[in-house]
Amino acid sequence: MSAPHNYDHERRLWDIYAGSQSVRGEVFDSEPVFRWTQYRDHPTAPGPELLGDPESVLELGCGTGRALACLAERGAKATGVDLSPVMVEHTTERWGPRGVRFVCAEVLDYLERTSETYDAIYSIFGAVWFCDPERLFPLAAARLNPGGVIVFSQPPAVPGAYGPQGMYKGGFAGPAMYTYRYSYAPEAWARFLSEADLTDTSVTVLDAPTEGHIGTLIGRAVRL
């Protein structure tokens, strides 16, 4: 079930986020880093090896661009798509000189119109979390080279709360700024991947490094 997205509205949300001092600091004052989980130190978390050894990568909802910069340092042709023109301006200034290309676009629109293909497409708490998987995964699969992989990570669903989840941003007294996130059980994510003609699907929840804390859902699939 799709949610009634208003991308102009959501772009404003992400522009506000991108313009915050903390995010600017994360872009301009930090070095490249790649991690799938929300925890800075996670001793059992996988790394970029989930992507294989790609010559080209595409990040969906690339945010600060630090993960792409890390992959570019490893020799990959790195491209990121983000909805926020403010964020793309920041990341292009910071990471563009290191060989990373950033595109300002809505992810589904970009996947529909681009003719480029990639060895790996991934999302770290990014667009897979914010897009209808029944639309997103077939489009992403069509942009993968044979043998290419799609990998994504995000928080697991709250038990029993599945499908698009609406969330107000910026508090409950003020402009009605909101977004949608898509949450499903691991077996549902695996089904969406399989229905997009992807294979070797694996969707699991990695436990947090501290017992009882929120884990990280990680999904992976391959295009034949």
pLDDT value of position 6: 67
| 191 within some domain | yes
Provide the β-strand partners of residue 178. 168
| 81 within some domain | yes
Q: Residue 25: count other Cβ atoms within 10 Å of its Cβ.
A: 11
| 171 within some domain | yes
Mean pLDDT (whole number) for 77-85? 96
| 2 within some domain | no
Mean pLDDT (whole number) for 79-98? 96
The yes-or-no verdict on residue 98 having pLDDT over 70 is yes
pLDDT band at 182 (very low <50, low <70, confident <90, very high): very high
CATH of the domain at 96: 3.40.50.150
221 Cβ neighbours under 8 A, 6+ residues apart:
149, 150, 193, 194, 196, 198, 199, 200, 201, 202
CA–CA separation, 27 and 94 (whole Å): 7
The yes-or-no verdict on residue 177 having pLDDT over 80 is no
Number of domains in the chain: 1
Domain hosting 47: range is 7-222
State the chain's mean pLDDT as an integer. Answer: 94
Q: Which one has a higher pLDDT value, 196 or 24?
A: 196
What does the radius of gyration of the chain's CA atoms come to, in whole angstroms? 17
Range name among 13-22, 102-111, 120-129 with the lowest pLDDT average: 13-22
